[in-house]
Chain A
C-alpha cells in the first residue's frame, strides 16, 4: 500500500550516509593495506599507540581504525629511571661486583602487550598495580613492525594534590 509513497520519498532523499560510510571504510581499508609497505603509516600508528602523535586531532581521527593485536609491543615498568639516567641516583656500592648486567636494576615488571602499550599506566588495572604508592614510576614502551620501531619513556610523579603527572621523559625513534 505505501510502497509508491516510500519509493517517491526514496528518490527525493539520496542516501548520502551510505556513500559516506562506504567511503570512510574504503579509506580505512586503504590505510591498513598500505601499512606494511609505507613506513609513514607505521610511524603514525606507533605514535598513536605511544600517545605521541603531534596533534590530538590527528590522533583522534585515527582512533576508529581497528588495531587489535598490532605490532610487537613490550612494556617495562620501573621504580628507577632507565640506565641512561641512572648516573648519580644509585650508589655504586649497592651494585654487586659480580653483576655485569645492571639492566634489570629498578625494573618492577616487563611484558609483551597486545596494543596501545601505554595503557600499562593509563588503564585501570595498571593504575592499581603500579600507582598505589607515592614513589615515582617510569614506563618504557617499545613497538616493532617490519623493521620499524619506536621507544618511549614516560615518567610519573605524584603531586601534592595526589594527581599523577605523566610526562614523556625521552623521545627516541630509531
Chain B
C-alpha cells in the first residue's frame, strides 16, 4: 500500500480566496501593460494642467509610482510569511489603488475602480487571517465577495436604466457602427442595416437585464452559485464586448471565485478508525 503514489490534490485553504483575488488583480493590472507603458510616456510628453486636480495628482511620476507600488505590494504580500508585513503590504496596495482612481491620468479607467474594491477586500482578508477560524473567515469573505460583486454590477446597471440604453442608441454608436471586434465585425458582415440596428437594441437590453438581475441576485445566492455566476457573467461581458475589458473584469473574476465556500471538512474523530489508519499509511 505504501508504494502507491497518491496524486497531488489541489486543496482549498485559508490562502486560496486571497490568492485568487490577488491573481485576478495582477492579471487586470498587467492586461493592458503595453498601453500603460505608452501612456506613461505620453503623460511625460504632453502634460495637461487642470486646476480641478491637486498638483501631485497630475504628475506622471506619481502615477508611475502608484502603479508599481500596487504591483510590488501584491507580490510582497503574497510571499511574506509575517502577518504584520502582509497587512502593511495589502494596505499599500489599497492606498496605491486610491491614488490611481484619483489621478488625472487614470481616474476614468474602471480597471482601477475594480482593483480598488478588490484591494480593499484583500486588505480586510489579511487582517483576519490567523485570527478567524477558517469556516468563519470563509463565510465572511464569501459574503463580502458577493456584496461587492453585486454593487459593481448595480453600478453598471443603474446608469443604463434610461431610454438611450433601452432603445440601443448608446451601444449602437459605441459598438455596432465601427468597433473592430469579432462580434461586431461578424454582425456587420452578416446583416443589413435595419436588422443590425434591431440586433443592437436586443444586445443593449440583454446587457441592461443581465447587469440588473445579477446585481440584485448575486448577493442573495448561495456562495458556490454566486462564485460561478459572477465569474461567468464577467467573463462573458469581456468575451462578447471587448477583450480589453479583462483588465477591468479580471479582479472581479478572482473575487467572485474567492467567494467559493469549501465543503466543511470531516473532523478526524468522525472518520472510522480503519479509514484513519489507511490515510495515515498513505501519508494523507
Contact = CB atoms under 8 A, between A and B. Distances in A.
Interface of A: 3, 6-7, 9-10, 13, 15, 17-18, 21-22, 25, 28-29, 32-33, 35-36, 45, 51-52, 56, 59-60, 63-72, 111-116, 118-119, 121-125, 127-128, 131-132, 144-146, 156, 162-167
A29 B150 contact: yes
A127 B46 contact: yes
A21 B144 contact: yes
A13 B46 CA distance: 50
A147 B170 CA distance: 15
Nearest to B117: A64
Contacts of A18: 124, 128, 140, 144
A127 B46 CA distance: 7
A56 B152 contact: no
A112 B155 contact: no
Contacts, number: 169
Interface string B201-231: 0000001000000000000000000000000
B271 interface: no
B141 to A, nearest CB: 9
Interface of B: 35, 38-39, 42-43, 46-54, 101-102, 104-105, 107-110, 113-114, 116-117, 120-121, 123-124, 127-128, 130-133, 136, 140, 143-144, 147-148, 150-152, 154-165, 169-170, 173-174, 207, 248
Nearest to B134: A6
5 closest A-B pairs by beta carbon, nearest first, are: A70-B159, A66-B155, A124-B39, A116-B108, A112-B173
B72 to A, nearest CB: 22
A50 B9 CA distance: 52
Contact of A66 (B102, B113, B127): B113
Contacts of B48: 121-122, 127, 131, 156, 163-164, 166
A72 B162 contact: yes
Contacts of A72: 162, 164-165, 169-170
A114 B108 CA distance: 10
Nearest to A131: B46
Contact of B116 (A64, A119, A131): A64
Given A18-B140, A22-B147, A25-B148, A115 B108 contact: yes
Contacts of A165: 49
Nearest to A12: B131
5 contacts: A64-B101, A72-B164, A72-B165, A72-B170, A123-B109
Given A10-B133, A21-B124, A69-B160, A127 B42 contact: yes
A47 B156 CA distance: 18
B54 A145 contact: no
A29 B42 contact: no
A126 to B, nearest CB: 10
A111 B179 CA distance: 12
B52 A51 contact: yes
A56 B52 CA distance: 7
A133 B117 CA distance: 39
Nearest to A111: B173
A17 B50 contact: no
A95 B159 CA distance: 41
Nearest to B252: A66
Given A18-B140, A127-B46, A116 B120 contact: no
Central interface residue in A28, A70, A71, by most chain B CB within 10 Å: A70
Nearest to A144: B164
B43 A113 contact: no
A45 to B, nearest CB: 8
